[in-house]
Amino acid sequence: MFFHYDVTNKPSGQHFNMKEVALYTVDGGKITREEFFYTMG
């Protein structure tokens, strides 16, 4: 799965974009592992 976040930190007002890829391992119809890879900038 691919996610794109557009985030603003409320206390500081700092704004940034974040891209994330989620890799799910499924065994027997159930998620057995989750891995997340992301970049910020």
3-state secondary structure of 30: strand
Amino acid identity of residue 37, one-letter, is F
Give backbone dihedrals phi and psi of 32, rounded to 5 degrees, phi first. -110, -15
Whether 37 contacts 19, CB under 8 Å: no
The angle formed by the CA atoms of residues 27, 31 and 35, to the nearest 5 degrees, is 115
Q: pLDDT value at position 40? A: 78
Report the pLDDT value the prediction gives residue 34, as an integer from 0 to 100.
97
pLDDT for res 19 = 94
pLDDT tens, N- to C-terminus, the chain (41 residues): 999 999 999 999 999 999 999 999 999 999 999 999 998 76
pTM (two decimals)? 0.61
What is the pLDDT at residue 8?
95
- 25, 32 in Cβ contact below 8 A? yes
